Amino acid sequence: MIIQVTPREIPRFWGAIKFAAVKVEEVEEGKIAPFAVELLHALLNEKAQCFIRLSDDRLLNAITITRIRYNPQTDEKYLYVQCLYSWQIVDDGVWKRDMAFIKRFARSVGCVYIGALTKNYRAQDIMTNLGFEEEYRVYALKV
């Protein structure tokens, strides 16, 4: 079962949310505090959204963090998937049910599409199986 965590419920799940976001975004040790403060602020002020998947016995299985963004190139509002983390390997059917829920949320807030960035191969596989298509490749050169 997937549910959206309300701002009032964020403190209850904060430890797991922070863990998942730091892990997915590969935040360096010295940068965790400012990263976590910004994320917590965004979740409490509904600038970011958190969805969780619970098992039948109400154990936390997965976390998805999203943000509503605006694409100035296409003049469209979209839902950006910032974090997709699962403690358990599940079949594609479970991810498809989760994404159907998140799609309904995206439509309800006026988003035209769902976007994501990741360098994690398993997340790429999940997104491809869910119907995401690659649009850009992002490169970085350290200076």
> Is 96 contained in some domain?
yes
pLDDT per residue as tens, the chain (143 positions)? 899 999 999 999 999 999 999 999 999 999 999 999 999 999 999 999 999 999 888 899 999 999 999 999 999 999 999 999 999 888 888 989 999 999 999 999 999 999 998 888 888 888 898 899 988 888 888 89
Q: Residue 133, class by beta-carbon neighbours within 10 Å (0-12 exposed, 13-18 middle, 19+ buried)?
A: exposed
Q: How many domains does the chain have?
A: 1
- Asked if residue 42 belongs to a domain, the reply is yes
Q: Is 46 inside any structural domain?
A: yes
On the 0-12 / 13-18 / 19+ scale of CB atoms within 10 A, 48 is buried
pTM of the model: 0.91
- What is the span of the domain harbouring residue 10? 2-129
CA quadruple 58, 21, 113, 134: dihedral, nearest 10: -120
Residue 68 sits in a domain whose CATH number is 3.40.630.30
Residue 61, domain member (yes or no)? yes
